[in-house]
Chain A
Amino acid sequence: MAVMTYIQAVNQALKEEMEQNEKVFVLGEDVGKRGGVFLATAGLYDQFGEERVIDTPLAESAIAGVGIGAAMYGMRPVAEMQFADFIMPAVNQIISEAARIRYRSNNDWNCPITIRAPYGGGVHGALYHSQSIEAIFANQPGLKIVMPSSPYDVKGLLKAAIRDDDPVLFLEHKRAYRLLKEEVPEEEYTVPIGKANTVRKGDDVTVITYGLCVHFAKQAAEKLEQEGINTEIVDLRTVYPLDQQAIINAASKTGKVLLVTEDNKEGSIIGEVSAIISEHCLFDLDAPIRRLAGPEVPAMPYAPPLEKEFMVSPEKIEQAIRDLAEF
């Protein structure tokens, strides 16, 4: 096994899928010769050529829309949005088209496109290079939204996304790209879409989260263990549609639930998680559901103290878990 960073796992998954299936191709801005601004596609242009690693014009609706057309034809396009913040011009294509193609054609057509986009803050990216955009897409049946938290999951989930017969929005935390590294098997494996993962066992408090916040939650939990507080951590992995049973099981297990997202709190993914728990776990709860999220401001500011104030951190999670444990 090789130690891989999160971004190297992205690259590895793309390479493996392109080697195995010549219908898989990549398109986006700067993905070719440059290898992507984060180097997610590094080396692919040299290995597979410009026909399968396509540098597109700077036009996000076309990146999505051309990919959608090719997917309906029978290809397996992987479209890259350079930053999740720039996905907005493609929203009509993703929601009105990709998400509805199977349903509106009564299962005649389908749209197996994967749209990758780096999201998230803590990288001095300010308002338009830091946003979490998953909530915009998270009430669109027909679409799947995957947000991996580790290099292992990145490889397995991205391969699963590319093989999926429906459109998948694959959101990668850009701060995780080089921050997170671990051993990743070189051999073939996939991680199932739609299934949450219990990344830590504990009896006192349950944390349900996804993406980079899983890493922060683990750090907090390790520290709290020394104080005798044992934390269960569930990584949603797929934030839409949600793995309801895993959420219900985890919430019922400890009766004290902390939900964490880097997104703004209102209308976020964790609001839906909270609703599921409220519907199913009323008599199992020993404390009110607690949410830790970004503040209700439009997006993350640039100046370091403001950015820090916005971001979820291990310290903030630690405090929230402790509060719940003591409730």
Chain B
Amino acid sequence: MVNQTYSLENDKDTLLAMYREMLLARRIDERMWLLNRSGSIPFVVSCQGQEVMQIAASFALNKERDYVLPYYRDLGVVIHFGMTTREIFLQAYAKGEDPNSGGRQMPSHFSQKQNRIVTGSSPVTTQVPHAAGFALAAKMEKNPAVSFVTLGEGSSNQGDFHEGLNFAGVHKLPVIFMVENNKYAISVPLNKQVACENISDRAIGYGIKGIKVDGNEAIEVYEAVKQAHQRALNGEGATLIEAVSYRLTPHSSDDDDMTYRTKDEVTNEKSKDGIVRFQNFLFEKGYLTETINDDLEAEIKKEINDATEYAENAPYADASTINNYVYGEKGDH
């Protein structure tokens, strides 16, 4: 623990707040699939199975100062950093009011400057050098901010992973790299992605700290990120965290995961669902009761219903706006 007198395990309010965000992320994601299968939205790419690590990590950051560079599964991260349920549905429906891109990007390409959620693209891992750049800028400006960037384990094979981590290592930058190891890069399993035992071992080559955690254990993830955050602020440089869980859905709404893995495997992994585990932990602690849980579910359902309705009825950006914002207005073009 960073602070010996503080124990997250006994911090009821924070734990319940974490639980709420995890549940919200899961329920939003489930609604997206329903909307997709009923033909309302063309595409979903899921966070299911990774909410616990996303929310736990985000709680260990400073949401007033830090910069996050999420990848497309990081619904939990952007929820914690302030994107509202309504905004999330606006991007799913590609409506003009969507703060991520005004409906220009596919869903889950998150971006919201006011909350320091940095815009991302579809080619994976390009955000890793950007995170080093944010950390470099923060360090130059003596701004006590950390950049937090996430990626899948498959992305740890890209050149930008190597280049970004090496740069951060050489310059001792305040950045946290979190690999969300969900064991699949679309259809290609972990053992065909890497030959090393742990993605976190790759940190050795960059002279930075590497740590592997159970991504379904909220407190373990929280503590690892909290320590990495403290190290970053202390000028001790970057950390690579590998958080392991499992992708509970197909890669996206266009994927059929039964072509490369079995139902038994998925069912078995679902029984280890981190949200259920966290919920049980809260029940055991006495922080969560059936009544509180039911109320929470009802509240979230209403929030999602309202957001869905709002987004569905919201207008698209007008076709005449297609040429807007290629360059800044100050420019000559």
A contacts, CB < 8 Å to B? 25, 51-52, 54, 56-57, 59, 61-62, 64-75, 77, 89, 92-93, 96-97, 100-110, 141-142, 144, 164-166, 192-195, 241
Contacts and interface: CB of A to CB of B under 8 A. Distances in A.
Given A141-B326, A164-B331, A65 B129 contact: yes
Given A72-B134, A109-B119, A102 B328 contact: yes
A54 B164 CA distance: 15
B133 interface: yes
B137 interface: yes
Contacts of B141: 75
B39 interface: no
A66 to B, nearest CB: 4
B6 interface: no
A73 B126 contact: no
Contacts of B128: 65
B166 to A, nearest CB: 6
A139 to B, nearest CB: 13
A89 B129 CA distance: 13
A66 B113 contact: no
Contacts of A89: 159
B286 interface: no
A72 B118 contact: yes
Given A59-B166, A105-B113, A69 B121 contact: no
Contacts of B166: 57, 59, 62
B332 A69 contact: no
Given A92-B126, A96-B121, A108-B111, A66 B325 contact: no
B331 A166 contact: yes
Pairs A-B, 6 closest by C-beta atoms: A69-B133, A65-B129, A194-B332, A106-B102, A69-B130, A62-B163
A59 B133 CA distance: 14
Contact of A65 (B67, B118, B137, B160): B160
A66 B119 contact: no
Contacts of B132: 62, 65-66, 69
Nearest to A93: B126
Contact of B126 (A65, A105, A165, A194): A65
A194 B331 contact: yes
B126 A96 contact: yes
Nearest to B331: A166
19 contacts: A52-B140, A54-B171, A61-B129, A62-B164, A62-B167, A65-B164, A66-B167, A69-B131, A74-B137, A100-B121, A104-B104, A104-B105, A105-B101, A105-B111, A108-B112, A109-B119, A141-B326, A142-B327, A164-B330
A263 B111 CA distance: 38
B99 interface: yes
Interface in B127-174: 128-138, 140-141, 147, 159-160, 162-164, 166-167, 170-171
Nearest to B149: A69
A241 B132 CA distance: 30
B100 interface: yes
Given A66-B136, A69-B131, A72-B134, A106 B118 contact: no
A108 B91 CA distance: 15
B167 A193 contact: no
A73 B121 contact: no
A165 B130 contact: no
A96 B123 contact: yes
A126 to B, nearest CB: 25
A19 to B, nearest CB: 16
B326 A73 contact: no
B333 interface: yes
A109 B111 contact: yes
Contact of A108 (B99, B136, B170, B333): B99
